[in-house]
Amino acid sequence: MAPTTSAPASRGRPPAAEGAAGSPGGRRTRRRVAAVLAVLLLAAVVIASLAIGSRPVPPSDVWAALTGGEVSGPDRAAVVDLRLPRTVAGLVVGAALGVAGAVIQALTRNPLAEPGVLGVNSGAGFAVAISVAFLGVTEPSGYVWFALVGAFLTTCAVFVVGSLGVRSPRPEQLLLAGVAFSAVLAGMISAIRLSDPERFTALQAWEAGSLRDRGWDVIVPALPFLALGVLVALLLGGSLNALALGEDRAASLGASVAWTRGGAILVITLLAGGATAIAGPIAFVGLMIPHAARWLTGPDQRWIMTLSFLLAPILLLVSDIIGRVIMWPGEVPVGIVTAFLGGPALIWLVRRRMVSAL
């Protein structure tokens, strides 16, 4: 466990070291600087993702391949047919998971909540397991619709059980319903998985979460859902801020608690469901990024969402690049790399008291 060594260095520092977030003026500057830096970093990461891969292609040829210049066939194929869709997949999946994570943590005010907690991952996983076990589907492009439908149906069920008998879905009840449904489905997935070696291998690969072989035929079906999700999230920002003050005060500020919660659940379904449909369950991005964004910007949900939208694809794409080269010529699925990059970072943040309670 590497992070232990870095611990003593940070111990002596007073908590005031991160005081820049304290004053309103300082926070405003800090937010803008963070946003600009995030955009620049994201651009750099996108370029790197196009340029780096198991097949060495010189940068000039990458550029030529993208702009339609003269390049050899295999080089063009590597860049245009493999790396370009893969990079786009990383961008949209990352952004979706980041925003979904920010919204679920704002909705439940629970730092343990991640986009999968409402049953999205297990719902998608269960549908994929069914498609593998009973319909013989074996390609990511075949999974995508199953995953979308499974995620959507499960979240609907969670929403219904979580909001029955109360005026608006109550966070704790929702979390419990999500946990309960996820558990039931996860159990059935394991049963399917352990019943047959062939299914085991296929599902194991899907459950690791990867951007490999995600062509346009996987990305495009999910795009409308993701776009709608981001749009609704943008509209919700202010009401989520009001909700953070507590139900009563939110109501007195004119925010409809029921509509806000319903909208938030819709956002999570669309974004997390779409992302999972493309890449499989990728843990941790949606959990970790909002913590980092909150540390950078303070409690304003609109800023947390914006920064999560920018930071999450950075984490995902960097992880994907590392996954492509670290075991060259083999690959490490991106979900595994995100955990190993994000884990130590999260521990470092929480030890320096940069992770704030909700």
Partner 1 sequence: MSTPTTSPAPALPHLPPRANRRRRVVVPVATGVALLALAVLALGLGDYPLTPVEVVSAFSGQDGFASTVVLEWRLPRVLAALAFGAALGVSGALFQSLTQNPLGSPDIIGFSSGSFTGVLIGMTLLPALAVPQTVWALAGGLLTALVVYALAYRRGVQGLRLIVTGIAVTAMLQALNVWMLLRAQEEVAMSASAWAAGSLNLVDWDQLLPSLILLVVAGAAVRLVVSPLRQLELGDDAAAGHGLRLEPARLGVLVLGVALTALPTAVAGPIAFVSLASPHLAKRLVGGAGLPLVQSALMGALVLLSADLIAQHALPTALPVGIVTVVLGGSYLVVLLLRGAGQRR
Q: How far apart are CA 198 and CA 77, in angstroms?
A: 30
**CB distance 279 to 208 below 8 Å:** no
Q: By CB under 8 A, is residue 193 in contact with partner 1?
A: yes
Which H/E stretch holds residue 28? helix 24-51
**What burial class does residue 138 get, using C-beta atoms within 10 Å of its C-beta: 0-12 exposed, 13-18 middle, 19+ buried?**
middle
Site size toward partner 1, by CB under 8 A: 69
Q: Which listed range, 87-95, 193-201, 216-224, 266-274, lies at the site for partner 1 (CB under 8 A)?
A: 193-201
Q: By CB under 8 A, is residue 17 in contact with partner 1?
A: no
Q: By CB under 8 A, is residue 165 in contact with partner 1?
A: yes
Q: Which listed range, 124-132, 140-148, 218-226, 341-349, lies at the site for partner 1 (CB under 8 A)?
A: 341-349
Q: How far apart are CA 253 and CA 245, in angstroms?
A: 10
Q: By CB under 8 A, is residue 357 in contact with partner 1?
A: yes
Nearer to partner 1, 78 or 265 (CB): 265
Q: Taking the chain, what is the end-to-end CA distance rounded to the nearest angstrom?
A: 28
Of residues 295, 236, 283, 278, the one with CA closest to residue 260: 236
Q: By CB under 8 A, is residue 184 in contact with partner 1?
A: yes
**Residues 6 or more apart from 330 whose CB is under 8 A from it?**
none
For residues 267 to 296, the per-residue mask of contacts with partner 1, x marking binding by CB under 8 A and - elsewhere, is: ----------------xx--xx--x-----
Nearer to partner 1, 61 or 119 (CB): 119
Residue 202 Cβ vs partner 1, minimum distance, rounded to whole Å: 12
Of residues 287, 310, 127, the one with CA closest to residue 207: 127
Residue 22 backbone dihedrals phi, psi, to 5 degrees: -70, -55
CA 334 to chain centre: 12
Q: Which listed range, 63-71, 78-86, 228-236, 334-342, lies at the site for partner 1 (CB under 8 A)?
A: 334-342
Nearer to partner 1, 84 or 350 (CB): 350
Report the 10 Å Cβ neighbour count for 178. Answer: 28
Q: By CB under 8 A, is residue 163 in contact with partner 1?
A: yes
The binding site for partner 1 (CB under 8 A) comprises 1, 3-4, 7, 11, 110-113, 117, 161-169, 172-173, 175-177, 179-184, 186-188, 190-191, 193-195, 197, 200-201, 204-205, 207-208, 258, 262, 283-284, 287-288, 291, 332-333, 335-340, 342-344, 346-347, 350-351, 355, 357
